[in-house]
A and B are shown apart, each in its own frame.
Chain A
């Protein structure tokens, strides 16, 4: 009985490690199609540099907020019927300087080279932190085009956080590097 339990556990362990490479083969054909679809659901940016400087040029005034709208996000998506994806964003590395806040909002997808169900951006900018927050919802089967100004135009806004003590602001010795990760989520019906 004991040996049988051990054998069962070993079998489960082996099977659990197994499916990484052969998951497609262990499914029925319908499920295999789904998996292939996710493999070419792609997301990329135009790699625009986003450099922002927070400063004030007039004596007596606080730092003025800065925005950058150079970044475009391109996707290709195919979803099973009745499902959709979202684009979410979070900070993967780096810390937004104390006393400031960084927000991100997406414009609707450009129409020049795109087609399909391109989704709906959330109108309210999201406050970027380490937790994924949704930028664009209800993305179905679509493509955005591949040009450097095709896709969802993102606007970063960096400003002082008026809810915090202004005295928290500190000059940066070197610019602070932040990595923001966009995720094109798995399709679901949420």
Chain B
């Protein structure tokens, strides 16, 4: 009658014995921090590119820039927020009859994460316009054929028969890309 109880009793003794022996612990405190990140940059072979890396990046384009540049970015966002990239002309000597159309390509897929969606094509102006939206935590990869390809098209707003072709070569336009939180 007593034998099962003795077994239980012995089990309890050994359990307590083990707990005593394992009571040797040291605690370490760690702090892990992920700051929000939003940085953009250009990649391309065109030597007319001036790069001011950071939240805003300025690119000097001319009529030969065309589709030779790519937009790279890295982004880490807080919960329930996204980043957007806006574009505006920051310095220009554009003939009054000319406009520049910008087409932002789809992300080339070299990176990972929640890369943004291009809005399509816009006509550049001095007012910032959103070109890539819904950027979560992501990176595009760095270099050409990574990120979003930028295609500039120079358009005459109305025909000018006597346009001086040489004057086009001197045109330099500064275009600023800015990455900001959508909130």
Interface size of A by CB at 8 A reads: 66
The segment out of A107-115, A117-125, A142-150, A171-179 that lies at the interface is A171-179
Contact across chains for B13 and A180 when beta carbons are under 8 A apart: no
Q: A28-62 CB contact bits vs B (8 Å, 1 = yes)?
A: 00000001001101111100011111111111111
Q: CB-nearest residue of chain A relative to B36? A: A171
The one of B24, B30, B43 in contact with A180, judged by C-beta atoms closer than 8 angstroms, is B30
Contact across chains for A171 and B78 when beta carbons are under 8 A apart: yes
A131 interface contact, C-beta 8 A = no
List the B side residues contacting A52 at CB < 8 Å: 30-33
Q: CB-nearest residue of chain A relative to B112? A: A166
List the A side residues contacting B146 at CB < 8 Å: 60
B40, chain A: closest CB distance, angstroms? 5
User: If the complex has contacts A23-B16, A56-B139, are A15 and B24 also in contact, measured as CB distance less than 8 A?
Assistant: no
Q: CB-nearest residue of chain A relative to B33? A: A175
B35 interface contact, C-beta 8 A = yes
Q: Is the interface of B mostly helix, strand, loop or mixed?
A: mixed
User: If the complex has contacts A8-B2, A12-B9, A180-B30, are A170 and B41 also in contact, measured as CB distance less than 8 A?
Assistant: no
Contact across chains for B30 and A169 when beta carbons are under 8 A apart: no
B77 interface contact, C-beta 8 A = yes
Contact across chains for A54 and B77 when beta carbons are under 8 A apart: no
List the B side residues contacting A39 at CB < 8 Å: 20
A78 interface contact, C-beta 8 A = no
B111 interface contact, C-beta 8 A = yes
The one of A16, A50, A167 in contact with B30, judged by C-beta atoms closer than 8 angstroms, is A50
B140, chain A: closest CB distance, angstroms? 5
Q: B102-143 CB contact bits vs A (8 Å, 1 = yes)?
A: 000000000111100000000000000000000011111111
The number of chain B residues touching the other chain, given as a range, is 35 or more
User: If the complex has contacts A16-B9, A170-B76, are A43 and B40 also in contact, measured as CB distance less than 8 A?
Assistant: no
B157 interface contact, C-beta 8 A = no
Contact across chains for A61 and B22 when beta carbons are under 8 A apart: no
The one of A50, A170, A184 in contact with B28, judged by C-beta atoms closer than 8 angstroms, is A50
What is the bound-complex CA distance between A20 and B147, given in angstroms? 65
Contact across chains for B20 and A50 when beta carbons are under 8 A apart: no
User: If the complex has contacts A73-B26, A165-B112, A184-B24, are A170 and B77 also in contact, measured as CB distance less than 8 A?
Assistant: yes
What is the bound-complex CA distance between A99 and B12, given in angstroms? 43
List the A side residues contacting B12 at CB < 8 Å: 15-16, 19
Contact across chains for B34 and A171 when beta carbons are under 8 A apart: yes
B17 interface contact, C-beta 8 A = yes
Contact across chains for B5 and A8 when beta carbons are under 8 A apart: yes
List the A side residues contacting B20 at CB < 8 Å: 23, 35, 38-39
B53 interface contact, C-beta 8 A = yes
Within 8 A of A (CB), among B124-183: 136-143, 146-147
CB-defined A-B contacts under 8 Å, sample of 19: A12-B8, A16-B9, A19-B16, A23-B17, A35-B17, A35-B21, A43-B25, A51-B30, A51-B31, A55-B35, A58-B39, A58-B142, A59-B142, A167-B114, A171-B35, A171-B37, A172-B35, A176-B31, A177-B29
Q: List the 5 shortest-distance A-B pairs measured between CB atoms, nearest first.
A: A60-B72, A166-B113, A60-B142, A59-B41, A186-B21
